[in-house]
Structure 1
Amino acid sequence: MSTTLSSINLNRFAVFVAVVEAGSLTRAASRLGIAKTMVSAHLQRLETEIGASLLVRTTRRLHLTEAGEMFYEAARIIVREAEEAVNAIGQSANNPRGTLRITAPVDYGATVIAPLAIAMQQRYPALKIDLLTGDRLFDLIAEGIDVAIRLGRLADSTLQAVQLGRVEEWLVAAPGVLPAKIKTTSPKDLTDLPFIGLSILPRPTTWRFERDGQSKQTVTFSASFTVNTAHAARAAVLAGGGLAVLPDFSIAQDVEEGRLVRVLPKWKLPGGGIFAVYPMAKFRPQKIRVFVDALKAEIEQSGRGVSRVR
């Protein structure tokens, strides 16, 4: 007897997709908010309903069967499009609801996104926000992420993106780090001073400066100390460790309050964009639109980098 769609519980599609993407029954149960035994029962019943084995379970991990790989690709699309349609129809601008999963770089997530997320949850009690910070590129589809905030320059991809603003990069130091007698008319005058490099960059000590759109200099500093996050670099430069190039959002208050000083502020660094990145979709849930609008308003209110965004 052939399997028909009417004989299959479509809720089990969502459970199966969650298990594959989470990599374990335990993590899938946590994501779905149900018991692990319920997840296991759904999987067993789904395999019975469609008449095929989808997963091979060992003590350490799950493996998709050949049938499971084929079924996952179809089920993933069905589940995502159903969720998007329900969210788009069922939500209103005044009451976004559900779970919004966001990723952002560690420092931007802590400095900008986390406070914004708390303000949004206070305004929209039915909205739950799951913020994942990290400097790696998250797989939005596999990890069930609604929107990623990325800084810099985007690589080509099949994802959709919209630019919300710009990040400026500033050369900074603690007061007193620059010797009083040093000549500081161009970046090349600073190459012998200690420099704090950000090791996650491809060339952490080499920077291109430009002044008035005409004078250009590419400078390689002497790295005395390297770190892997801008947060750690900020702590090191505040401690007097040397010069550093840091994003404006992380140090603007330090500069305003005199804990740091901008060095050669007339010489500009490349900077980069602030982007909201999404999986390709026919429908954009209201919870995403509300968040992106709130972040854009926050960027505009900060007054930095807005003039170059159209």
Structure 2
Amino acid sequence: MRRDVNLNRLAIFVALVRAGSFTAAAEHLGMTKAMVSQHLLKLERELGATLIVRSTRRMALTEAGTLFHADCVQLLEQAQAAIERMGDRRHVPTGTLRLTTSTDYGMSVVAPALADFHRLHPQLQVDLVINDQISDLIAERFDLAIRIGWLRDSSLRAARLGGFRQMVMATPAYLAERGVPRRPEELAVHPWIAMSALMSPLRWTFTSSSGARRTVRMTQAMQANNAAAVRALVLHGAGVSVLPDYLVQDDIEAGHLQVLLAQYRLPEGGIHAVYPDPQPPAKVRAFIDFMRDRLAMR
């Protein structure tokens, strides 16, 4: 039969046995001798058994009390060990870091960063999920997501890691054939490769060094649903598009892609770590700090 027992009284019972007297136990626990006695009486009533026989001068465990005391000591030790393990998780990265991000950013930035992060924390396991859809972090049990661009309203917590520039790109071969646009308006006559995941994939606002803004509507030739696919189309000469700096830096240095209208700025995007836990464990805090430092050096 199930018994309703106040578990706090188990600790008082163990403290009483350890102290050897009600007076000493009361002093150790910071309560009155009468309170200690009342807790013991209620515990015995809840259990339906006498745990301690006492007189005015001494007390002794009954047979049931001896067995119950041994179980209580083991239970409290296990509870203390669990509390200490939770404390370790607050300060030392442990367990599995499960995170998600987009295909292009995951392949080009997050995966290499995770490899270096794991070298610093080899005891930590990593589970990276690449997905261009917005995942439900709580339902899918993610520790965090690395999200690129502009955050939607959410009850989740977010930490800014850095930002990225958006640049108009084309191949040198394409530009040799079609000409180099000198003003934003000239882009409207070039075949545009749109990224369909954006809210306005064909409408772009350029800001000059003087602060003047020009908005241009492009002429779509093709579209793709992520930046990596758009990059592949641009590299194969299909047209012109906007690409993030983290995805094309190597292409620019190798001469495979050329930056157009460098004197104008497009809106910069943010890079954020998004996580559900209001008190994130050490593994999440450590990776956020690692990524923030890494991006600051780019």
Q: What is the aligned residue count?
A: 224
Deviation digits for residues 80-114 of structure 1 (CA, Å, limit 9, x no counterpart): xxxxx877611476x52210011111111111111
Name 2:268's counterpart in structure 1. Answer: 271
Q: 1:240 corresponds to which residue?
A: 237
Q: Are the counterparts in 2 of residues 88 and 284 from structure 1 also a CA contact under 8 Å?
A: no
Specify the alignment match of 1:284 in structure 2: 280
Partner in structure 1 of residue 169 of structure 2: 172
In the alignment, does 2:103 pair up with 1:106?
yes
Cα–Cα, structure 1 residues 174 and 4, in superposed 2: closer, same or farther, change >3 Å? farther
Q: Which has the higher helix share?
A: 2
Counterparts of 1:104-253 in structure 2 under 5 Å?
104-179=101-176, 182=179, 184-253=181-250
Residue deviations 1:120-164, cap 9 Å, x none? 222222101111111211111111111111111112221111111
Distance 1:87 1:198 in 2: 46
Secondary structure at the residue paired with 1:111?
helix
Whichever residue aligns with residue 104 of structure 1, its letter is T
Q: 1:236 to 1:86 in 2, by over 3 A?
A: farther
- Structure-2 change in CA distance of 1:214 and 1:284 (3 Å): same
For the 8 Å contact 1:238–1:259, the answer to whether it is kept is: yes
Matched, 1:90 2:93: no
Task: Tell me the amino acid that sits aligned with residue 87 of structure 2.
Answer: I
Whichever residue aligns with residue 99 of structure 1, its letter is T
Distance in 1, matches of 2:291 and 2:99, equals 12
Cross-structure match for 2:10: none
What do the CA deviations read for 1:215-252 (whole angstroms, capped 9, x no partner)? 21111111111111111111111111110101110001
User: In 1, distance between residues paired with 2:157 and 2:85?
Assistant: 18
Q: 1:268 to 1:86 in 2, by over 3 A?
A: farther
Structure 1: tracts of 5 or more residues without a match? 8-84, 303-310
Contact 1:196 1:241 (8 Å CA) reproduced: yes
Distance 1:279-1:222 versus aligned 2 partners, 3 A rule: same
Question: Normalising to structure 2: TM-score of the pair?
Answer: 0.69
Q: What amino acid does structure 1 have at the position aligned with 2:286?
A: V
Partner of 1:54: none
Secondary structure in structure 2 of the residue aligned to 1:267: coil
1:301 partnered with 2:287: no
Amino acid at match of 1:285: P
Please say if residues 167 and 244 of structure 2, whose CA atoms lie closer than 8 Å, have aligned partners that are also in contact.
Answer: yes
Indicate the RMSD between aligned Cα atoms, in angstroms: 2.5
The structure number with the bigger radius of gyration is 2
Q: Percent identity among equivalent residues?
A: 36
Question: TM-score scaled by structure 1?
Answer: 0.67
Measured against aligned partners, the alpha-carbon deviations of 1:48-107 in whole angstroms (never above 9, x if no partner) come to: xxxxxxxxxxxxxxxxxxxxxxxxxxxxxxxxxxxxx877611476x5221001111111
What SS does structure 2 have at the residue aligned with 1:176? helix
Contact kept, 8 Å, 2:148 with 2:270, in 1: the verdict is yes
**Residues 6 and 198 of structure 1: CA distance in aligned 2, closer, same or farther (over 3 Å):** farther
